[in-house]
Structure formats: structure tokens, C-alpha cells
Structure 1
């Protein structure tokens, strides 16, 4: 999670087009061949530098019954129903400059190893390294792990009183995300570390699943994948949708604690329009004792 809405569900499609059109300026641009990108996509997710072997690194997992929350605004709820998909943001879109980075001086993949592994030039290997270390190829969906709703996150992620929180579980989230043979999806808890003192395992995913101690209150659970095709000489997409089974995903929709009465009726009408029916309740966070 971050201080803006980059890790939230995306806005409606007309707004998406507007955003996609606006990212050309300042976007990273790499001239990576299709064969190289596909080769990287087929590889495992990290490198053991001593053995020279590719190995899989996975973040820690909570219990499958752990409760997850996603705080979103009303337009993002409509987008979820409309697209039946979750928006995965490119990690470069987040406001935290440390997102996707390693502690200073701790590089996880060597240029020489990539040259030898993929039979590519040093410049191309350097582009790959920069992408993997900066987060350009990484896409994530962020959730809050907690048994209870969070007053801080209601305030942090919603700009009005018309927001909602989607409640689900780790198991239901995994079952809701439809299999995609073109990408491997990684699930796990974000680990919070001191970037001045800590080291990370080698590979692409450790920087995606580690953040600074200042963000520990977010208790973040992430779903992530990498897309090496983003390096094939065109602007990096700010995000991608992944299809989900809404009935498996949504356990309860919670209205913001400060939401007026008419918001409940509006959400009910939207559910009727999309022919979905989920438990709808208003947060009692600020009710009088």
C-alpha cells in the first residue's frame, strides 16, 4: 500500500483510457527483444548467485482463513462489478520511492550472469537489471490483513464518505483469481525492515514484498506478478486487470463509517444492475458506545 490510490482497484474504463494516454511522457522505454522477454518470463523468479542456479523465493503466508480488506471508493466498486477484475498497479506508480527497491548497494542479479544466461549484450542485461530492481516489470494488488477494520486505513485511502471496504479471506482471494497460464502469480505478506541494516534475498520478488518499517501499520498482503513484455520497446503500462470470480472474492461489503444513508441505497441499486447480491453493512466504527 502507499499514500495514494495506486494500489486500489482502478477507475472506470473511460478514466483508464485517459491515464493510459497520459503515461507516454517520462515512461521507461527498453528495447528488449520478444524472445528475450519470453525467456525471462519462463524462468524461475530468483537467482542464487553462488550456485548460479535459478530458484524460487516465496514470501511468508498467513493462515488461509486470515481476513483481508480492500478499501476503495464508489467508482472503483463499480469498476470491479463492471470488469469482474482486479486492477494490479505497476509498482512504479506508487508514491513511496523505496517501492520495489533494495537496500543501497545490495544488487540481487549480476549483469554478467544475465549475459551468459540469456546470450545478450551487456547493455540489454543492464536494462533488464534496472527493470527488475526498479519494479518496472512488477504488478501488485494490495490488501490489509486484519481481523478488524482499520480506522487509519478508512482515512488514508478514501477521499470522501462514499467509500467501501471489501472483506474476504486469503483462501477466497486465491480461489477467486482465475488461473492464467501466461503468468505466475505470487501471494504473501509484506515484510517490514530497516533498509539501512537489512539485506534481501536475490531475485525479482523480494523487493516487491519488503517495505520500510514506517509502513508497518498497513499489515499488507500482496498479490503480484511480473511481466517482462513491458521491456519490449514501448511505454510501461500503469496497471493490468486480472479476472476474478466475484462470488468467491466478496464476503461482505462494508460502507464507510461516515457514509450517509443514501449511499447504502446507491450500492444496492448498483448490485441490482450487475445482478450480484452480497452482504452489505455499514461500519459501526464511530457509533456512540
Structure 2
């Protein structure tokens, strides 16, 4: 099966899924969200990156919370790190909802039906000969572990952005770190350049290579299931709703890994990858952790002061604890 046939097969699958969602027996927010994501992938199929939140303005504020070493990697090394989902502690990252699990229970029966039908090409027949529910599960797990993610926190603008002590404590323990402020449009532009430069040879037979969008926080017991990866990684358990995440996702699995996973072979997952960024193009401001020592503020100012594109207002304290309280 050549590349054009693989892509057209993907289009057909998307059309069928969107049609199914339009005819879904219920019409609630989870169904509408799922339909928006699937429709976005279909509408933007030939784009290097699928934007699952196309209505989100380019000027929307985002912040990325990092340690000092990660900050230096971005500013001095000019790299942003995307982590493999396989290393995430939240086991529901990329998991199916209960509705998706019910569909998976019928997988063996669906495969048997497909084997009995006359197949159009030898490649599909060969895959079906090896297919089983266990191998399909292995493939989906392998795809999940080959998805690489970088996370930001959404706001509207600097005036309305709500600081979160939970966020600072989780991502910058001990206060030795910063929050990098940027805009959705800037981050998307850099991500598209990364996908076109580093992943142009991959084909979207199991989802787009690059995807960006706002995370939805759902009830895994009742929510409609997203069709697959990487779109599934735009959903998290509603217990994480305070995170208000905006994500970059790379679907890095190639045809060799897909073929091995489909026959049940173990496939090593990547640890992650670096994405080149121009700090002056990415960073609007840097906020030093509210409980950081004074010398960290001076060090961050010195680091940015040596680079063009930054001025004395580029570095500020987080406003979380900086008011002068009256007791």
C-alpha cells in the first residue's frame, strides 16, 4: 500500500467517524467535543499540524512552568522538551473511556468478520491474518507510548490570568524555577516548523503527526470516547481541570513500529525529543517562582539581559505571594 492509499484510507475512517458522531444517539458536550476534534483533523488533513482548537485566538496567553535547568535548556540550548506519554504517572493519559472499552470487547468478533470479507489488497490481508484483539491493544498502547507531549497552561490575558499555588508546587518544587509566558500563535508557528523539519517523512495512517489544542477534562465513566491517538491525549480526567492545559503532541510512530506492534512484538518507546525554538520568538515574559530566593531573580535577569529581544521588564516576580499583607 503506497502513501497516497494510506492517507486516503485515513480520510475514509475520519469521514465515517464524523458521520457516526453526527448520528450519535445522544448530543451532549462530550459528543460535540469529540466531533469537533475529528472534524478538525478531517478539515486540516493535509496541514503539517492539526489544530484541534481552531477558535482559540493566536493572542491567547499561555505559560510553561519549568525548573532552572529546563529554563536554561530553552534559553541557552534553544530547545523545548517533548516527553513520551509512556513515562507519565497518570495512567488515564490516552486511555479509552468506559464506552471505548465496551467497543474494544467486541474487537475479536469484528476482526473475524473482516477476515471473512474479500479484502482489496494483500497488505490488509496480511495484517488481518495476524490480527487479534490482543495485538490491536498492543498497537494502540505502542502508538500511545510514541506520542510526545509538551504542556502549557492557558489564560486569557495577563490581567485575568489566575495564578495557581498547586501548579508552582507541582512543577517548580522548592521555588527554584520560573514560568515562561508566550502566546498560542507563537508556539503553534514554532511547532509547525518542527514537524515540517523533523517529521516530514511520516504518514498519518494512525492519526496526524502533529496536533495542538486545549485539553478537555472528562468523566471517564460517562464520556463519549475519542477515536484514537493522538487526539485521545487531548482528554484528561476531570480531577485535573485546574491545569487548563494547552498541548503540543507529536505522533512519532513510524510504519516499522506499527507493523511490529500489530503482530504482538514489543517496540521500544522513545524517551522524548527536543524541539528547536528561538527564545526571542517564543518568550514574552518570565515569572520567577513566588517563593524563590532573591538571587534567582537576579540570575534570570542576567541570563536574559545578555540576549537580544529582552528588556528589564521581561522578568517579574509571580504575584501569588508578593502582596504586602496586613495581619
TM-score if structure 2 supplies the norm length?
A: 0.66
What residue is the counterpart of 1:173 in the other structure?
187
Q: Quick one: which of 164, 183, 186 aligns to 1:150?
A: 164
CA contact (8 A) 2:150 2:247 kept: yes
1:100 and 2:94 are equivalent in the alignment: yes
CA contact (8 A) 2:64 2:179 kept: yes
1:137 and 2:112 are equivalent in the alignment: no
Residues 111-166 of structure 1: CA distance to partner in whole angstroms, max 9, x if unpaired? 84999685243446864653435611211111110241323211221112221000
How do 1:186-201 and structure 2 match up within 5 A?
Answer: 186-201=211-226
- Cα distance in 1 for partners of 2:216, 2:231 equals 9
Residues 226-273 of structure 1: CA distance to partner in whole angstroms, max 9, x if unpaired? 011382665211211111222221000110111111102222333356
- Cα distance in 2 for partners of 1:239, 1:66 equals 27
1:236 and 2:269 are equivalent in the alignment: yes
- Pair 276,196 (structure 1): closer, same or farther in 2 beyond 3 Å: same
- Cα distance in 2 for partners of 1:128, 1:86 equals 32
Task: Provide the secondary structure at the position in 2 that maps to 1:171.
Answer: helix
Query: Please, which moves more after superposition, 49-58 or 152-161?
Result: 49-58
What residue is the counterpart of 2:33 in the other structure?
none
Q: Give the structure with the larger helix fraction.
A: 2
What residue is the counterpart of 1:87 in the other structure?
81
- Cα distance in 2 for partners of 1:223, 1:66 equals 15
- Pair 243,124 (structure 1): closer, same or farther in 2 beyond 3 Å: farther
- Cα distance in 2 for partners of 1:239, 1:104 equals 29
- Pair 124,239 (structure 1): closer, same or farther in 2 beyond 3 Å: farther
- Pair 253,133 (structure 1): closer, same or farther in 2 beyond 3 Å: same
- Cα distance in 1 for partners of 2:114, 2:185 equals 36
Give the superposition deviation at 1:79. Answer: 1.1
- Cα distance in 1 for partners of 2:3, 2:138 equals 14
What residue is the counterpart of 2:13 in the other structure?
47
Q: How much is the aligned-residue C-alpha RMSD, in angstroms?
A: 3.6
CA contact (8 A) 1:82 1:274 kept: no
How many residue pairs are counted as aligned between the two chains?
Answer: 255
- Cα distance in 1 for partners of 2:3, 2:84 equals 17
Task: Provide the secondary structure at the position in 2 that maps to 1:228.
Answer: coil
CA contact (8 A) 1:84 1:244 kept: yes
Q: Quick one: which of 248, 267, 285 aligns to 1:223?
A: 248
- Pair 228,260 (structure 1): closer, same or farther in 2 beyond 3 Å: same
Query: Please, which moves more after superposition, 155-164 or 277-286?
Result: 277-286
Query: Please, which moves more after superposition, 89-98 or 264-273?
Result: 264-273
Q: Quick one: which of 277, 289, 295 aligns to 1:256?
A: 289
1:284 and 2:319 are equivalent in the alignment: yes
What residue is the counterpart of 1:64 in the other structure?
58
- Pair 59,200 (structure 1): closer, same or farther in 2 beyond 3 Å: farther
What residue is the counterpart of 2:300 in the other structure?
267
Query: Please, which moves more after superposition, 85-94 or 103-112?
Result: 103-112
What residue is the counterpart of 2:25 in the other structure?
none
CA contact (8 A) 1:175 1:248 kept: no
- Cα distance in 1 for partners of 2:283, 2:239 equals 30
- Cα distance in 2 for partners of 1:206, 1:214 equals 19
